[in-house]
């Protein structure tokens, strides 16, 4: 995911709704960090959702969640 070329990808990832599982219906930025850590260990799903979950994992791991909250719609 090349966020420098397309910042809209970051906005889209932050606002993407989890389509399945325990946290179905929550925006990816609002997923709990332990859930993202579990996904990281298990392997993220293939495709765009997996890339977005991986990005949310990195954001939470680096403590950047608060900085991105204003991007939530």
Tens of pLDDT, residue by residue over 25-57, are 999 999 999 999 999 999 999 999 999 999 999
Task: State residue 6's pLDDT score.
Answer: 79
pTM value is 0.90
Domain limits, the chain: 8-64
- Res 13 pLDDT > 90: yes
Task: State residue 59's pLDDT score.
Answer: 95
Q: What are phi and psi of 31, to 5 degrees?
A: -70, 140
Contact between residue 15 and residue 73 where contact means Cβ atoms under 8 Å apart: yes
40, 33, 35: which is closest to 61 by C-alpha?
33
């Amino acid at each position: 995911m090349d966020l420098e070329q397309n910042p809209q990808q970051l906005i889209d990832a932050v606002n993407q709704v989890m389509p399945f599982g325990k946290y179905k219906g929550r925006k990816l930025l609002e997923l709990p960090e332990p859930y993202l850590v579990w996904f990281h260990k298990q392997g993220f799903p293939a495709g765009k959702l997996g890339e977005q979950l991986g990005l949310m994992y990195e954001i939470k791991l680096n403590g950047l969640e608060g900085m991105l909250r204003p991007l939530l719609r």
